[in-house]
């Protein structure tokens, strides 16, 4: 898969090493809004082709797929443009908070015969797959409660995460992981409720939510941009025990703690570059060797849940049915 990167965002530094290490990914191009910036970035990361606009990257016949790491508000717009240009797309999360926009993007992918995938890299890590397997196999009995956290302190009020016009906010930036992890374990919620504290720029800097799933499974999520750096945990609590992952999103020192009445054990997990796995899944999906892990249904589930949580919070925290 010949990959082009659309933007020079900071997240790229986590994605590029995995792309360079993979035998099935060839990082061939990068685009910025100016030729000078693109040239500088391409030299720094040893990328063969530098494009001075996003449009010229999409016109490049040597690019099969693009990774879009633009601000949230531009995700669907440039995904659609890339798909219409005949490129497969890996778009950073969240694809969008509006279900109708997610539908539009995937409708475009369908018409173009191209793959669109939302970039939740943690979903590709063996730690995540093992956690899901343990829950499904009944390691903790009947699943009853999920707890998920993600936060960090944001001091720069000009950061894209803090800007309402770019769809910033704690739930969009880090809370979407908590939503994703809860949905992965319990399915689609029937109702949600949320409360938020707005920061100085008008976006949510602190958010807590409750998700109610079929079978009376509950999830409690919290996230924020004005809280200490917490990359987790994610807990699945059942009738007979608890599974706890300390670093569910970054997958640092991966492992799962299983706690039952008879004692606790730590299940060690091999560490693998999750960004590389994500890119390789896309590459193999393009070749028809395996399905994309995250497809239309998952991205729509994310958008519907996030949109409903915001609606609840904006209305004072009452339950919203999905």
Which pLDDT score, from 0 to 100, does residue 290 have?
A: 98
Which pLDDT score, from 0 to 100, does residue 297 have?
A: 98
Which pLDDT score, from 0 to 100, does residue 284 have?
A: 98
The overall longest dimension of the chain from CA atoms, in Å, is 62
Which pLDDT score, from 0 to 100, does residue 138 have?
A: 98
Query: Rounded CA gap, 38 and 36, in Å?
Result: 5
Annotate 267-304 with b (16+ C-beta within 10 A) or e (fewer): bebeeebbbbbbbbbbbebbeeeeebbbbbebbbbbbb
Residues lower than pLDDT 70 in the chain = none
* Active site (catalytic) residues: 93
Q: How far from 253 is each of 133, 156, 237, 248, CA to CA, in Å? A: 19, 29, 22, 10
**Domain boundaries, given as residue ranges, for the chain:** 2-121, 123-321
Query: In the chain, which ranges are E strands?
Result: 2-6, 26-31, 49-51, 65-68, 88-92, 116-119, 143-153, 191-198, 204-213, 217-224, 226-230, 234-238, 241-245, 255-260, 263-268, 320-321
CATH architecture of 123-321: 2-Layer Sandwich (3.30)
CATH architecture of 2-121: 3-Layer(aba) Sandwich (3.40)
């Amino acid at each position: 898969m010949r990959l082009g990167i659309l933007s020079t965002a900071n997240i790229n530094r986590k994605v590029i090493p995995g792309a360079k290490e993979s035998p099935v990914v060839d990082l061939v191009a990068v685009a910025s809004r100016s030729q000078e910036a693109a040239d500088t970035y391409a030299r720094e990361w040893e990328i063969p082709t530098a494009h001075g606009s996003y449009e010229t990257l999409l016109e490049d016949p040597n690019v099969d797929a693009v990774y879009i790491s633009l601000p949230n508000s531009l995700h669907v717009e440039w995904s659609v443009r890339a798909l219409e240009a005949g490129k497969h797309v890996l778009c950073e999360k969240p694809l969008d908070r509006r279900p109708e926009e997610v539908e539009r993007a995937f409708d475009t992918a369908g018409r173009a015969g191209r793959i669109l995938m939302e970039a939740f890299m943690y979903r590709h890590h063996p730690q995540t797959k093992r956690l899901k397997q343990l829950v499904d196999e009944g390691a903790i009995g009947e699943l009853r409660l999920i707890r998920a956290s993600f936060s960090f302190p944001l001091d720069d009020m000009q950061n894209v995460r803090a800007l309402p016009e770019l769809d910033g906010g704690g739930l969009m930036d880090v809370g979407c992981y908590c939503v994703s992890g809860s949905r992965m374990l319990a399915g689609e919620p029937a109702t949600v409720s949320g409360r938020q504290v707005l920061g100085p720029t008008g976006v949510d800097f602190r958010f807590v939510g409750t998700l109610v799933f079929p079978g009376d499974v509950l999830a409690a999520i919290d996230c924020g941009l004005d809280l200490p750096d917490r990359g987790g945990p994610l807990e699945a609590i059942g009738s007979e025990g608890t599974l706890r992952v300390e670093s569910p999103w970054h997958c640092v020192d991966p492992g799962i703690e299983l706690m039952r009445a008879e004692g606790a054990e730590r299940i060690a997990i091999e560490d693998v570059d999750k960004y590389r796995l994500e890119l390789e899944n896309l590459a193999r999906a393009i070749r028809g060797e395996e399905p994309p892990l995250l497809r239309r249904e998952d991205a729509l589930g994310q958008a519907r849940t996030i949109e409903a949580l915001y609606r609840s919070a904006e209305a004072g925290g009452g339950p919203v049915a999905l």
